Amino acid sequence: MSRLVVVSNRVAPIRQGKATAGGLAVGLHDALRQSGGIWFGWNGEVSKRPETACETIGNITYVTLDLSKPDYDQYYRGFSNATLWPVFHYRIDLARYCRKEYEGYRRVNAMLAEKLKPLLRPDDILWVHDYHLIPFAAACRQLGIGNRIGFFLHIPFPAPEVLTAIPPHEDLFRSFCYYDLIGFQTETDRLAFQDYISREAGGRVEADGNLSAYGQSFCAGVYPIGVMPDEIRRQAESYRGRRPIIGLTTEGRRRKTLISVDRLDYSKGLVERFQAYERFLEHFPEHRHNVEFIQIAPTSRSDVKTYQAIRKQLETVAGHVNGRLSDLDWTPLHYLNKSLDRRTLIGLFRTANVGLVTPLRDGMNLVAKEYVAAQNPADPGVLVLSRFAGAARELSAALIVNPYDCLGMAEALDRALRMPLEERKERYEDMMQALRAADLNAWRDTFLRDLRSFGRHRVVTARR
């Protein structure tokens, strides 16, 4: 079997005995372990004299490099997270564009391809991840790298009307066509991409999923990312760690709890969620004192302005909800700006009566899947899920909500907390079936199978 080379913006080596890694990192490591290979990307550091480091654990070599300050500012903080991220999440209002940053984005992609080139063998398969690396294949082709290269987009792909707000969209998507296989989370994303290719790029879309544009032929497919549901269930069953004291009254009675876990990001619908929770406590006062909401929201990209703004806004709303409704013996909302280790999270999911996952837009959202998988089959909790999360396609047995409908969300919370055991079990069984049918192994294996079976190696050289 040919070696696998994974390329992603961030690289996270997994050492033995570490139980904190997320499902996706574990899944990619399993793929690398099966065939041997390299995981290549940024180590998360910024330095004056960027260096490359190599570490081999078993048959996987981690090759990581730091970024210079201008590269970090232009490639990561600038074009990736201040232009692409908001536009791909339908927030043109929050996006800004700077030509210099786009040049930096292209420059870093070219630099990464150059650093990777001497490490490659002719039959290696490359699997590139996410929006930071859209022009990476074109940069490889320019260096004469003919290996098969696949790309997976973890975030949504927006409608062309939204996408074309990115000033250099044509240049950007011309370079995207040098991948052999492009994977999306949902059919909606794939259709939006096809729409762009046929209407904006003047390309061709064949019935079998083959595409051609800008003189390149390539494939696009849907590969919904999953979790390992039975493993999560076992972890949840065996969790013996710290029990949260949240949810307990002064007399030791257990209150019902709602849980949400998100990176602190404006795409996650946190403000709308806090407001819906407030509305729920107003409209259904019988729940006051009997329910607590735990929001875990570690801060993220805190040097990007829009993230500083959303953080302030959330502090105001959280303070308002608690200031207005708290009592001496009851705090309705626990808002934590910190990350918890994976085992504790799974333990929390297990005990929470409701999992609240209500992004305004999200590629997939693995928290929704993990919450379901962690439930006790004999007494499962209820998932309240935004229709705008990719996961809503598979988890149609959740209580599906529109995060822009404040009262609708409040009513869904009331319904979730009152739901009879039989209905909760039925919905849980349905969702577990969906999780098992498209788990993390299936995601990885079908993508790699399709990539390995894609045509010939390329001989073309990309032009800019």
Q: Could you say which of 11, 65, 155, 270 contacts ligand G6P (CB under 6 A)?
A: 155
Instruction: Indicate the residue type of 282.
Output: E
Nearer to ligand G6P, 389 or 412 (CB): 389
Binders in 274-303 for ligand G6P, by CB under 6 A: 300-301
**Least distance from C-beta 300 to ligand G6P, angstroms?**
5
**Least distance from C-beta 198 to ligand G6P, angstroms?**
26
User: Which of 205, 193, 206, 209 is CA-nearest to residue 159?
Assistant: 193
Nearer to ligand G6P, 264 or 294 (CB): 264
Identify the active-site residue in 66, 130, 362, 439: 362
Long-range residue pairs from 236-241, CB within 8 A, at least 24 positions apart, any chain: 236/346, 236/347, 236/349, 236/350, 236/373, 236/374, 236/375, 236/376, 237/350, 239/343, 239/344, 239/346, 239/347, 239/350, 241/343, 241/344, 241/347
Nearer to ligand G6P, 9 or 142 (CB): 9
The span from the CA of 210 to the CA of 216, in Å, is: 11
Nearer to ligand G6P, 203 or 363 (CB): 363
For residue 95, count other CB atoms closer than 10 A to its CB: 18
Binders in 102-141 for ligand G6P, by CB under 6 A: 130
**Least distance from C-beta 10 to ligand G6P, angstroms?**
5
> Does 91 contact ligand G6P by CB under 6 A?
no
**Least distance from C-beta 155 to ligand G6P, angstroms?**
5
Residue whose token pair is 């490659």:
120
Which helix (H) or strand (E) is 7 found in, with range? strand 4-10
Q: What are phi and psi of 434, to 5 degrees?
A: -65, -40
Residue pair 204/211 in contact (Cβ under 8 Å)? The answer is: yes
Nearer to ligand G6P, 233 or 301 (CB): 301
Number of residues counted as binding ligand G6P (CB under 6 A): 7
Nearer to ligand G6P, 155 or 213 (CB): 155
Q: Could you give the string, one character per residue 10-29, with x where binding to ligand G6P holds by CB under 6 A and - elsewhere?
A: x-------------------
304, β-bridge pairs: none
**Least distance from C-beta 301 to ligand G6P, angstroms?**
5
Radius of gyration of the chain (CA): 23
The span from the CA of 275 to the CA of 359, in Å, is: 14
Binders in 298-357 for ligand G6P, by CB under 6 A: 300-301
Nearer to ligand G6P, 113 or 225 (CB): 225
The residues, any chain, with a CB within 8 Å of residue 307's CB and separated by 6 or more, are 264, 265, 266, 299, 300, 301
Identify the active-site residue in 29, 129, 132, 154: 154
The span from the CA of 104 to the CA of 375, in Å, is: 45
**Least distance from C-beta 16 to ligand G6P, angstroms?**
23
**Least distance from C-beta 428 to ligand G6P, angstroms?**
26
Q: Catalytic residue at 154? A: yes
Q: Could you say which of 77, 141, 148, 154 contacts ligand G6P (CB under 6 A)?
A: 154
Residue pair 293/244 in contact (Cβ under 8 Å)? The answer is: no
> Does 425 contact ligand G6P by CB under 6 A?
no
**Least distance from C-beta 224 to ligand G6P, angstroms?**
14
User: Which of 400, 415, 406 is CA-nearest to residue 279?
Assistant: 406
* Strand intervals (E) in 278-366: 291-296, 333-336, 354-357
Distance of CA 232 to the CA centre of its chain: 18
Nearer to ligand G6P, 264 or 385 (CB): 264
The residues, any chain, with a CB within 8 Å of residue 298's CB and separated by 6 or more, are 263, 264, 337, 338, 339
Residue pair 332/256 in contact (Cβ under 8 Å)? The answer is: no
State the residues that interact with ligand G6P by CB under 6 A: 9-10, 130, 154-155, 300-301
Q: Which residues are catalytic?
A: 154, 362
